[in-house]
Amino acid sequence: MRSLVTGGAGFLGSNLVDRLLQRGDDVIAYDNLSTGRRRFLELASASPRFALIEGDILDATTLAAAMSGVDTVFHFAANADVRHGTEHPRRDLDQNTIGTFTVLDAMRTAGVKRIIFASTGSVYGEATVVPTPEDAPFPVQTSLYAASKLAAEGLIAAYAEGFGIQGLVFRFVSILGERYSHGHVFDFYKSLRADPHALRVLGNGHQRKSYLYVQDCLDAIFVAADAMAPTKKFDVFNLGTDQSCEVNDSIGWMTGELGIRPALNYTGGERGWIGDNPLIYLDSQKIRGLGWTPRLSIRDGVVATLNYLIANPWLLEDRP
């Protein structure tokens, strides 16, 4: 099997690359290295079955050429900066929606027949059913990021129907673990590293979130991909744990692990930023029905992530 991973130099993408190589695939990481890092591909680069192609997903020509002979595209490239959508209204549209269109159309041109897509639990907006199942009531979008991912899901489903491309979509909670380089554990640790005595917290700290450990996430993707019947056009799975936590819990686990007791300065309000969902808590019965179960609790995931960051200070330093 030959797999191409867009965003293959990113947090999730590079972990996927390693796992695909372990499974015996030939693997191409396709990444523009805008947020991805070559250092995440050091392990992969030792394999003769691996290649990195530096390219942008909006570059249809390079993309289609990279897809020659590919069986499955794992489309993981995205603008993942959920918080700052309103400062750059077009970025999510370009990177996530038009980017996904370009990937799909390159697949059509190159004859690639399967796409596995990293979507987000935030497509449920302010869910009226919690834990939220895949067939929750038709949602109202609350962020440009989620709207762009929903649009990408719709394009994948339409390509599946119209062009015989098999589409498999995963709606994630936030993912934690090795190579995590973006998000609250990163931000909090970076802040605490600079000043262990005080921590600024967006919102009131009671925002509930659900997290999943990266290897558990990848396990689930392989379970669903391997179980999908070749005749099935499209499917979608939530990926999350059966737990949720408050931002405050996460801070407690981190400061406990670090052995510090900073003053917590809350900015106030129920939301961290405009479009922040107070709770993303997904029903994962569908993927569990295939035999998958996560190995790490949210707490274990937070602590593993923190310890990875402690061991890899370059990650906190190399970009401002």
Query: Which residues of this chain interact with a second copy, rule CB under 8 A?
Result: 85-86, 89-90, 93, 97-98, 101, 104-105, 108, 124-125, 128, 134-144, 146-148, 150-151, 153-155, 157-159, 161-163, 234, 236, 274-275
**In terms of CB distance, is 256 or 269 closer to a second copy?**
269
For the CB of residue 88, give the shortest distance to a second copy in the complex, in Å: 11
Tokens, residue 191: 């802040």
Using alpha carbons only, what angle is made at residue 41 by residues 298 and 314, rounded to the nearest 5 degrees?
A: 70
For the CB of residue 235, give the shortest distance to a second copy in the complex, in Å: 9
Pairing of the two strands 234-239 and 166-172: parallel
Q: Which residues pair with 3 in a beta bridge?
A: 27, 72
d(CA 168, CA 32): 24
In 3D space, the residue among 170, 130, 122 whose CA is nearest the CA of residue 148 turns out to be: 122
Helix axes 247-258, 184-194, angle to 10 degrees: 40
For the CB of residue 29, give the shortest distance to a second copy in the complex, in Å: 26
**In terms of CB distance, is 233 or 299 closer to a second copy?**
233
**In terms of CB distance, is 79 or 305 closer to a second copy?**
79
Name the helix (H) or strand (E) containing 168. Answer: strand 166-172
For the CB of residue 277, give the shortest distance to a second copy in the complex, in Å: 11
Amino acid at 279: L
**In terms of CB distance, is 141 or 210 closer to a second copy?**
141
Q: How many CB atoms lie within 10 A of CB 247?
A: 21
**In terms of CB distance, is 166 or 305 closer to a second copy?**
166
Q: What is the largest CA-CA distance in the chain?
A: 57
- From 145, 189, 211, 308, the catalytic residue: 145
Q: How many CB atoms lie within 10 A of CB 121?
A: 24
- Measured in Å, how far apart are the chain's first and last C-alpha atoms? 38
d(CA 35, CA 289): 35
d(CA 5, CA 50): 11
For the CB of residue 285, give the shortest distance to a second copy in the complex, in Å: 15
d(CA 10, CA 57): 14
Q: Is 145 a catalytic residue?
A: yes
For the CB of residue 73, give the shortest distance to a second copy in the complex, in Å: 16
**In terms of CB distance, is 81 or 134 closer to a second copy?**
134
Residue with the two structure tokens 């796409």 = 115
d(CA 296, CA 46): 29
- Positions marked catalytic: 145
